[in-house]
Structures are given as structure tokens and as C-alpha cells.
Structure 1
């Protein structure tokens, strides 16, 4: 595959190297096709979204290792930066993976699941392994329109044995049989890995996972919001544990949830975005409108102010009123804090 012998899948060359998407119109068009399922025909795609400029939840080495392990099984595409993610979100109506999340895209379906460090994935090492298993499992359930590498080896050995049956010695025939058995054992190991991964990557509706919670509760206005609010609820519960007579078992579980459930990277990104949007007094209104429009709000203009209201499905998000006239430095800081409080972000950070 490193010599471009992997073939073409739709418009994508099959490779064991990641594709670093360019920050351009062509790159945006490609990412749009990946998100909606129009980029490939035969193989799934792992889409690595950015949580900053040239930064991701996986290191470059891990991304390259993931692409190598998935060579011929799935494509790996890497987003260039967070600003690119915002543009992609606006043209895909929020269907893209963003905020550092990893999206698994199926041909003809688009992104079917997102993965990020959080409740059920504790660190980047686990994230990489679960992505690999998920891609392998999804690929195994797709129609097989040809031989994979193990099938090709098996058929080649059989053909060689039949062709050379009359002139091979017993030792040579035994060696061919041994090689064929080794290939079959390798295939069995791959199938065992895929079967064992089904429980990890295919949570039922009754199981606790970020995806299932989103389906039950409604959309998040940033990736990982629900788990962050569950974490906050555990902290508040422990703060009043003595007053309400909370039992010891619940206290232990609450502490473990707080310890094991990190604050989502997307929360820190959103706070940084709010800080940047309230730096320039001349652009603060337009910058905040643009930012909040990507996070579940739509604009309603009043006389001297701009009123932003939450879209349907984002129950509990209060309306935000922004001044149209420029503010001084102190006013900008107060405005930023006001928006953070309205969104309920202040207490979510450790």
C-alpha cells in the first residue's frame, strides 16, 4: 500500500497512511463528503477532528499508527484546525465530529458514531484501540466484494499446491499445508478480535454511553456536555452529603465518577472561544452571534440589542441578550462572564 498498490475506493486511494486534510475549499468539500457518507464506496473512514490548531486528542504518532493498523480496512482523515471544524459544522448542520471527537463514517450513511475521551474511554491509548476495533467490526459487517489479504494468500497457496502436486516432495507439500494452516489461524484470530469488540463498540440502548444519553436527552451544545453536567451533579451531591445523609456507597461511586470522568476537551475549547470572541469591542456582537450560532442558538434582533434564543431540542438554555454598541474592556469581561453563567459553564470547570 505504501507503493499505491492499495487501489482506489471511490475517490480515495487506499493507504496505510493518514490523510491530512488541507484548510481549503477542496478540503472542506472532502470533509463534507466524509461526514455525509459520500467520500468512499467500500471502506469506512475514521475522521479525526481538531481541538485546536494542529492539535488532536491523539498524538501524530498515534494517528499514524492507527492509519497503519487500519491499512486496507479503513481510511484515516485528519482535520487541520478548529476553525475548519466550525465551517464544516455550518454546512453539515452539525452532523460532523468536532471538538476533538473521532467520527466513524460509513459509505452511504456518513458519521454513525463519535468517540472521545470521557465516561467510557479513559485516555488516548484506549481511544486509539477502540477506534481500531470499531473500524474493524464495521468493516466486517459490510458486504465483501472481493478477497482480503488473508483470502488472497489462502487461495494462492491452494493454487500452488494443486499446480505442483505431481512434482513436490512430501516435505514441500507439508510446508504448503503448514503455511495455509497458519493463514487460517490468523484469520480466526482476526474474527475472534472482531467478535470480542462488539460488546465494546456497540452499546445497547439500555447501556450508559455518551451517544445513548444524547439520544435519550437531546442534543449537546458542545461535545461532552452531558457527561460534564453529570460530573457537576456528583460534585454538588458530595458537597451536601452530610446534610442530606447520603449513604457511603453513593459517596464512593460519586467520587469515582469525578475521578474517572475528565472534563471534556470541548468545554475548554468553548471557554477559549468565548474569551476570544469578547476581545474586540467593535466585533464582539458579530463574533458572539457567529460563535453561539454554532452551539444551538439563533439570532433575533431587537431595537438596541441582539437577542439569541436556543433552537428546539436545547431545553434549559436561556436567551442571551447582546449589546449592539461597543463596550470598554471591563464591559467585555463582564459580558463574557455573563454568557458563561447563562450557558451554565462556570461551575463545570474544575
Structure 2
């Protein structure tokens, strides 16, 4: 069992020098979905995701000596250079929860600037990008103050652990190309406590995959992912889900290793339907899909039948549609998006994305 609690990570306040750390961290798209959790942000089933590239959060963490007598964490948070009290309160609660791991956070002052390359709370795992970027900044801060995280594997594991405490899916964004979170017999070293990188197992065709995100709605979701996970506790179909998902996980990993795009696409779409089916079977039931979502899905099925091109869709916890396909078909698929699908998008907007190489320190 990993235990990062460390009462010895303390600084001498009047000797802390001011500094700045910046990280860019991407979102990720789950292929096998994590839905339902227990304990402190622990998953009820394993998941695997592609790490994205263009959908990211940039976070700047400025730190210096504490100038007030205020107990606990002292942090100023700005989102897109504007104060946002709900976000600021969430960040302060998160940092306070980390005091057993990082007691020095109560000894310094922090200013955090965060910005997204995509709409917040529209089902593109914004919290995954945001909390992974912040976790990476914190691990860099630890290493700068104490020199304790010089080993890259240890750094990534701890960053993934910290990111998980802020947002479950954020732990997967730490790694290049693909990551697994949750214990499974199909992946050595897999853990509920943090994600592990899996990109080195991908067949080369999947490293070329695009994930073009159609923004069906920019409105904030009616039911947050946090509330959605909670509703799984009393969902009459949750146990069936947890029993069957292991089989799908095994099939998905086999497809990703072998380059079996057809099997990949079949499982991918079943997982999308399952996720939103579980939402509709919750108590109370709720629906995050929009008419445009359904229209796009029908168009994708028609396109695949007609053109025999491996274009598949998935959905995250929102109305927006992720279209996944190999780079070989980029021109045809993107022409299809522009000619047939943008009419269903909010203000004709979409994010051309792809499997990416993970976070980057700026």
C-alpha cells in the first residue's frame, strides 16, 4: 500500500524563495469507462484511456513566503485570469486535503492561474486536465523545495496519485498515449491508487488515432460527474456493470495490442452506450444526451456502412461526441465532419484532437 503522508515535508518559512512552475496537461478520453467509485476517489472498475493532445489545461503555480498569520492553506486562484469563487473554493479544499502529504502547503503562499483550451463542464473531462496539471505543479514544487522526486517514474506515480484525489480520471492524464487506472489482472502494476502508463503496448496504428471532439453543447451539464458517480451507489444495474466490464477490458486490451480496429470500435461504442444507459437507469434517471448527439451518432453509423471506413464514436459524461479513427482516413473523415456534422455542433465548433504525448512542463 502506497502511503505518501509525510510530516517531515516542512520548510523554514523565512528562507522560502519565490518561484513559478508551469505545466500543460491534456484531457483524456476513456475507452473503457470508469463509472462509480468508493472510498477516497477509488474506482469500482478498471478503465483505459487515450491521452489527448489539443484539449488541455495550462496551470501556473506561483509560490513564496507566507505573509499572513492565516492558518492553513493560503491560495489565490484565477481561471482565465478571472477570480472564480466556486473553483477557488474547490482548489482550497483540495490543497487542504493534501496537508498530511504536503504539510508545507500551510507555510507558503500560492497563486494559481489556470486556463483551458476547451469549454469547461461540457463533457470533455475538464477536471482531468485541470487536476493533473495542478498535481504536476505540486510534484515539481516538492522536488524544487526538497529534491525528493528526481526519478521520473516516482514523479509520475505520485503526480497520478495526487491528481486522482482531485478528480479520478485526472490520474490517467499523466501518461503518454494511453493509461490504465484500476486493478486488473490484465495489466501488471495496475492500481486503484494511481494510473499506469500503457502507451508502449499500443499497436502502432492506434498511436496515429485522431479524436475529433464535436461540441454539441457548451452549456454546463445538468448533473455533474461527481453526482453521477454517487448515483451508481443505488443503481440496480451497477453490480452487473462491474461484473461485465472486466471482460470488456480484456477484449479492449487485446484489440489495442493486436491492431484490431473493428473489435476496438465495437467495444468503444458499447461502452459509450453503457455509460449513458447507466445514467438513464439511475434513481432519479437523467439524460445528458442532446438531439444533436443522437443525430451525429446516426450519421456516423451511416457513414461507416456506406464508406467502409473505420470511424467510431464514444461519449464522455456529457453530450459531446468524440470521433475516433486512424490518421490514414483523416482527409475523408474531416471533410465528412465539416460537410455533414458541424450543423449539429454549438456554433459549428469542434476540436480536432489526436492521441498525444502527455503533459509538458512549460
- Structure in which a larger fraction of residues adopt helix: 1
- Structure in which a larger fraction of residues adopt strand: 2
Q: Which has the higher contact order (CA 8 A, sep 6+)?
A: 2
Give me the TM-score of the superposition, normalised by structure 1.
Answer: 0.26
Give me the TM-score of the superposition, normalised by structure 2.
Answer: 0.26
- Structure index of larger Rg: 1
